[in-house]
Structure 1
Amino acid sequence: MDVLAQWMTTGRPTQPSPPPQPDGGLRFAFYGRTSTLRHQDRVSSHGWQRDMADHLITGHGQIIADYFDAGTSRRIPWPQRPQAAQLMAAITDPNPAVDAIVVGEYERAFTGSQFATIYAWCTRHRIQLWLPETDGPVDLGKRDHRALLALLGAQSQREVLRARHRVLAAMHNQATQQGRYLGGRPPYGYQLVDAGPHPNPADARWGRRLQRLAPNPHTAPHVTWMFQQRLAGHSVASIARSLNERSIPCPSSADPHRNRHRTRSTWTLRTVAVILANPRYTGRQTWNRRANGTGNPRSTPALSARAAHPALVSEQDFVTAQQIRAPRPTNDGRLRRFALAGLIRCGICNRRLDSHWNHGRPTYRCRHGHTSTQSTNQNRPKTLYIREDHLIDKISIRLEDQTTNSHNEASRDRTRSNRIAAALRDSGSFVVCDSTGCRLESINST
């Protein structure tokens, strides 16, 4: 310690201390960790953890190796952390260079049951494990050490869960109530523009600013055109084919810097389907769309209460586009239309019935998951078939459909089928069929 540091510590001047001599004590390997490089300073985080370790082992030995994982979550096991894995490999060497491991803070190194695993591993290799919380080497033979480590493990896990819950709950609120853009690649058809200073005063003073989505003048017209084509009844495949024929750049070509993981330069069916199913094009902000819907903030999809950016399609047109099934062309050029496609479910296996053209009529069938790639199973339920016109007759009675006679029977049946299908979608209902008959159920009841 130099003269000024000695004075700062003791409050009085003193003679310089002679340089420390090796005391022949334990050889320590230091381990530390920081979870992110974006919001934490690696040098500062490493520094204070190393200081804690140096203070702990004073008079017991010296640190001869330093291992620090930066940008690694504590939930990752030690063998999967780059620096921790190197430390473990060095210890398993036939002639290990260290006698003990010292960490700067328990919660930086362990969570859940990780400590018990590493402690057992260290014991097996005759390596001590030192913690500041135990003021020295851990000894699980002591009752107070066992109680303290159990408390630290629960506290570390609780910190992870609380932090995750707070962050996800805040993001859910920011998306629903504020319509805030929360990061990620902007959808095809949009670009990022400045949305003013950050609402947090401290972040604003550092120059951080918000962003929002705005239509990209080069790609937004193509998105609008896709929805128009879908509303006109065109299939997703035909839309993709038309885009390729017109040499319209696909998302990976239009924005290669943000789509470096994409290698294809043409439109695919999946690319168009994803765009047509993205509610952001209605102007509403979304977050966590792939949630499982268990009811907590981290799993509930978020939709902004009001428009957060300019829309490329109206909400009504977007919802209508989700319900469209493109007509299927035949060899003679005529179209096969299935009015109830997607609206019928099997009462046996709960699958949607496949649209199936049979004897010149639209019908629906369910093979209960059986395909031609599988061998016949005698226990498989009999394939369910139902004609669309028979089903319409049954549904119309339940919906109290008032129809009038028409001279053109085929035209009347077609119009009636479309009217029944529209009534089902508007009421949020679907048809459940099995070998005993059919019934109507509401989507909300499922």
Structure 2
Amino acid sequence: MTTHAQLRALVAVRLSDMTDVTTSPLRQREAGENQAARIGARVVGYATDLDVSATKTTPFERPELGEWLRRPGEYDVIIWWRLDRAVRSLADMEDLARWAKEHRKRIIFAEGAGGTLDLDMSSTLGVADIIVRLLAWAAQMEAQAIAERVSGARATLRAQGRWAGGIPPYGYRPVPRDGAPGLTLVPDPSALSVLEQMMTDILDGAQPHSIAMELNEAGVLTPRDHDDVRRGQEPKGRTWVGTTVKSVVTSSTLLGYHIHQGKPVRDSKGRPVLAGPPVVERDQFERVKAALAELAAPERRERKDTNALLLGVAHCATCDGRMYRYSANSGRTVVYGCRALARGRKCEAKASMRADWLDDWVVERFLALVGSWPVTKVVRHPGYDPGPELAEVTAELRAHMGERSRFRSAAGRQMWQETADALEARAAELESTPAVEAREESVSTGKTYRELWDDADTAGRRRLLIDAGVRVMVKPSKGRGGRITKLDESRVKFVVGGHVDPEREALDAIEREESE
């Protein structure tokens, strides 16, 4: 060690989390300065590393401390407030001790369970090495204990219905709890519109990879990019893939459940703990899961992430599939066309038609037929079927029963029994709960279709068409040749509320008569 009339001290400060006031930089700095004064040392500098984890970085990897360790000639002693401010593992402590021995430095930890620990690493007796190894082991054990406490704290937060942090489930965003500490989850409207469309497309027979392609083409943010934007960060430009689509629409988080290690968190009675309100109804959630497994029958819903007025309204007369709006003829024309192949289906004669012609024709027919009709809205009162959750609880209980032999201690068996009792209690509760049928009622809006049409944007108008039961069937072109300059009405059929346009019925009758 360099001999000076007065020792030169470096005070090292480290903080993992800037919000932790109990280990504040000021407190650590004052402890280091007080210790330097006690040994008669002059403070020559501070190595201050904030928001730096000792578990994830060695002393030599930290921005400021690492620089000081590469300039050992500028000080004689390094002072930390406590041992855990320096290292969190035995290996890191051994490396630090080896460095101190090589450069003949003195290491001091100002406070600890046994008071101040002063290690002169120039000693040749090896006692300091033994002490350091023992204390480093204690620090490593403390790091493990902290990790366990964090895990337990997160479990406690979940049990209280609080959001423990991280990336929120797709369809939600975290907000402060009303009148209580911490965060809770609420539905995120921007993500919900995308989620609704994904589920609708799956119910309409679309494969997850096809939906992923459409989301990427439309520039829809992935769950991680969506969260980056929510936190004010630049999104990384990740892309949707089929597995992401599938995991999003089949996650029980959509029911509001707290999920831990793939299972719902349950209270002492076996009931699922909610992180937020459900964003989908249970019956829709189950239908989507079944559709992914069995390619269920189509079900129409509104799509909100497109400017196509007739999406969900216009259908190919050959295969009955939806028609989509896209550019054709090298971008010179926008059409509605059958995209059966892109959706994993086959169409023998795909239909297509210029989008502006079909839009204008449908709007004219719609307003002429139903513009003066009063509009009613359907209010849906969801039912409740205990069957799906009962199946989940039964599966969890069966898996839990198989783990009993793993627990050998009395405490472990008691914990196992508490979980088993909670699951059985919930199963019994669900078995005794009657199913309630969903019901709908019509409520008058006090306006006509035309009045609502005039006030609505494209998405709102599409919703009016779908709610009125409008369905337009488009036949493929007959290939007569020549330049087509207007819509061929013989190729389209307009149906509203299950009733065919009378004018169209007459045209169809003439066409059938002429073909006989």
Using structure 2 for the length normalisation, give the TM-score.
0.48
Match of 2:286 among 316, 328, 337: 316
Equivalent residue for 1:32? 13
Give the letter aligned to residue 137 of structure 1.
D
| 2:46 matches 1:73 | no
Match of 2:105 among 114, 120, 127: 127
- SS of the residue corresponding to residue 186 of structure 2 reads strand
For 1:248 and 1:330, how far apart are their aligned partners in 2?
Answer: 19
Equivalent residue for 1:276? 249
| 2:172 matches 1:190 | yes
For 1:131 and 1:330, how far apart are their aligned partners in 2?
Answer: 67
Per-residue deviation, residues 44-103 of structure 1 (Å, max 9, x unmatched): 333343234324422xx3221221222212222112111121111222xxxx22233233
8 Å CA contact 2:104, 2:122 repeated in 1: no
Equivalent residue for 2:135? 152
Higher relative contact order (CA 8 A, sep 6+): 2
Inter-CA distance 303–122: structure 2 relative to 1 (3 Å threshold): same
Give the letter aligned to residue 279 of structure 2.
A
Inter-CA distance 80–321: structure 2 relative to 1 (3 Å threshold): farther
**Count of residue pairs the alignment pairs up:** 294
Structure 1, unaligned runs of 5 or more: 1-22, 199-208, 290-300, 336-424, 430-441
| 2:101 matches 1:110 | no
Aligned-pair distance for 1:324? 5.0
- SS of the residue corresponding to residue 35 of structure 2 reads helix
Equivalent residue for 1:296? none
Aligned-pair distance for 1:127? 2.9
Inter-CA distance 115–140: structure 2 relative to 1 (3 Å threshold): farther
Superposed CA RMSD in Å reads 4.1
For 2:50 and 2:165, how far apart are their aligned partners in 1?
Answer: 22
| 2:65 matches 1:84 | yes
Per-residue deviation, residues 151-176 of structure 1 (Å, max 9, x unmatched): 3222211211111101102212432x
Inter-CA distance 250–36: structure 2 relative to 1 (3 Å threshold): closer
For 1:255 and 1:145, how far apart are their aligned partners in 2?
Answer: 48
Inter-CA distance 211–130: structure 2 relative to 1 (3 Å threshold): closer
Inter-CA distance 332–86: structure 2 relative to 1 (3 Å threshold): closer
Aligned-pair distance for 1:244? 6.0
For 1:36 and 1:330, how far apart are their aligned partners in 2?
Answer: 49
Match of 1:225 among 175, 197, 207: 197
Give the letter aligned to residue 124 of structure 1.
E
Equivalent residue for 2:186? 214
Structure 2, unaligned runs of 5 or more: 111-115, 267-271, 298-339, 348-390, 404-516
Equivalent residue for 1:169? 152
Inter-CA distance 38–254: structure 2 relative to 1 (3 Å threshold): closer
Identity %: 20
Question: 1:52-67 to 2 correspondence within 5 Å?
Answer: 52-58=34-40, 61-67=41-47
Aligned-pair distance for 1:37? 0.6
8 Å CA contact 2:93, 2:133 repeated in 1: no
Aligned-pair distance for 1:234? 1.4
Give the letter aligned to residue 312 of structure 1.
V
Equivalent residue for 1:418? none
For 2:51 and 2:227, how far apart are their aligned partners in 1?
Answer: 31
8 Å CA contact 1:282, 1:313 repeated in 2: yes
Using structure 1 for the length normalisation, give the TM-score.
0.55
8 Å CA contact 1:49, 1:105 repeated in 2: no
